[in-house]
Amino acid sequence: MNPISAAFTASALLVLASSPLLAQQVQRIEPANWWAGMQHPQLQLMLYGDKLAQCNASLNYPGATLTGTTTTTNPNYLFINLTLASDIAPGDLPIQLQCADKRQTLPYPLLARRPGSAQRQGFNASDVIYLLTPDRFANGDPTNDSVPGMLEPANRSDDSGRHGGDLAGMVNALPYLADMGFSAMWPTPLTENNQSAYSYHGYAATDLYNIDPRFGSNAQYRDLVAKANKLGIKVIQDIIVNHIGHQHWWLSDLPDTNWLNNQAFLTGAAFVGTNHNRSTVQDPYASNIDSAQFTDGWFVDSMPDLNQRHPLLATYLIQNSIWWVEYANLSGIREDTYSYADKAFLTEWGRRLMLEYPNFNIVGEEWSPNPLIVSYWQRGKHNKDGYVSHTPSMLDFPLYDALLKALTSEESWNGGWIDLYEMLSNDHVYADPFNLVIFEGNHDTARIFSLLNEDMDLYRMAISYLATMRGIPQLFYGTEIAMQSPKQRDDGKVRSDFPGGWAGDKVNAFTGKGLNTTQKSAQQLVKTLLNWRKTASAIYSGKLMHFAPDNGTYTYFRYNDTQTVMVVMNKQSEPVTLDLARFNEVLPLGKTATEVISGKQIKLDKQLTVPARGTLVLDIR
């Protein structure tokens, strides 16, 4: 692997190649470039190479000031601090390095931004997100399945191994996603995971500035985003600031003695894993030892926990996230294991991103069924302890949990639809519930169709609910064809290969070849609802009113000045007739509605009969 960051520009590489001293000493510069006209004027460069801490740096460029350098306990790192004027012109910043008796110029690329970059629109409630695991989705380039220098080769027969899915496969699938009605895609992490085993999932990064070559290149990633945008599909990048992989290049020569939490484990101390007690972050009675173990403990011994309290590392991580947004032209970030990182760092991380991109969106993962825990992290929440977040969205795990309970439990005064009704009534604890991401499952949960006991009626209710409820819907790849998995967590089987993504697959979900009746029905349901949703302003910008469950049914409305959508779900094994007078504060009587799933016209007069185990999505305009 090239020791210089793959994103480094050709002009800088030419100078390094002609400078024997720097070719030997400067092995990495991160970030490898920056942009003129960013809102935050400070930029910090991390240089890595033999005894670079002994070098002095200087710079003479209009609008750029080198304000100093910072060193650590490791003599091989030099951090260069720059201040850039708001009107600085793009160009190569001629950073002068004086190392011993040799002086060399290092041209640092300062690029022009895309027009309108700062005003980019993030994903929002008008979008539906398609979550996919790249290694398991589609293999468009078999030549990069196994790559020299990458420790784990492809082995499609291994549930825990790499299967060969890549960026080229994702590009090939873009027309399918657009046709299905998806307007945003979230691939699990694409950055290099050069781990010796179990590297396909992407959550153990070994290089935060480069795409894993088994997926493709940085340039191919940028090309994917551009092609997706042309088809009306936004791209969300999965970013992890909490941890890295234990074979990250830092681990062979850590930048400082406290770069990691519980760093002593590397030299023989006992392993300290996180206790996963996320409530400690806001628990007024939590002990310090429990709070520290939650944030500072490692997930597993192959995922070192990053110390975001280290100011140099904090700046590095913040700049890395901004760099990917600007470089790849992203429309959003999904932040993994959100609350496990230092909370003060998360405030600054979110602030800096939203400073550069005011209309951007970030969704954090806080895996808790408790809305009080999740709401703490959303921007605009007035927390009792004064904590301020700048992260606009969170994954709505409480609603996911309630939806599963509602669909799989018997109706009673305290079970069934009431679980969903009461969970939604907790929206008052959120600063912006309409910006939460709602979902039916993800890469860490069992498949929704299996959890619903392969019951197509319940599946139809789940998909209809996601397509019409407040928030931003997200579907896991394969949900649209009712893919299955064990009910207990089994990551390899949950993240199984998407049929048709590999040459020779007998079933091809992209074309419909070989799909059975259930799969075709599921695919058509998703396609119908998602494409209709694009025309339904009441769904993505309207109000919400729901009515307490009655006789095995649950009814709610989405509405604005021009459209009303009535959704009714009936879990009973017999038809249920509803008295429409109950809903007259929101339902315009005497109108004819279009039932979205079937396309039928239904007159809304005095009563409405809901079929046994049926779902009605009624569009009234």
Specify the residue for token string 């009712």: 482
What DSSP designation does 377 have?
T
Residues contacting 493, CB < 8 A, separation 6+: 159, 485, 486
Residue type, 496: S
Pairing of strands 102-111, 91-99: antiparallel
Specify the residue for token string 């315009």: 588
What DSSP designation does 600 have?
-
Q: Please tell me the total number of residues recorded for the chain in this structure.
A: 621
Is the link from the previous residue into 31 a cis peptide, with omega within 30 of 0? yes
| Residue 580, phi then psi, degrees to nearest 5 | -70, -15
Burial annotation 355-393 (CB, 10 A radius, 16+ → b, else e): ebbeebbbbbbbbbebbebbbbbbbebeeeeebebbbbb
**Dist CA 540 CA 471 (whole Å):** 8
Helices of type H across 368-512: 371-375, 397-408, 417-424, 448-451, 456-468, 491-494
Nearest in space to 531 (alpha carbons), one of 541, 523, 542? 523
Residue type, 182: F
Active-site positions read: 336, 365
Residue 244, H or E segment: none
Supply the DSSP string of 65-90, one letter for each residue: EEEEEE--SSTTEEEEEEEE-TTPPP
Burial annotation 277-315 (CB, 10 A radius, 16+ → b, else e): ebbbbbeeeeeeeebbbbbbbbbeebbbbbbbebebbbb
3-state secondary structure at position 448:
helix
3-state secondary structure at position 201:
coil
- Quickly count: other Cβ atoms within 10 Å of residue 223's Cβ: 16
Residues contacting 598, CB < 8 A, separation 6+: none
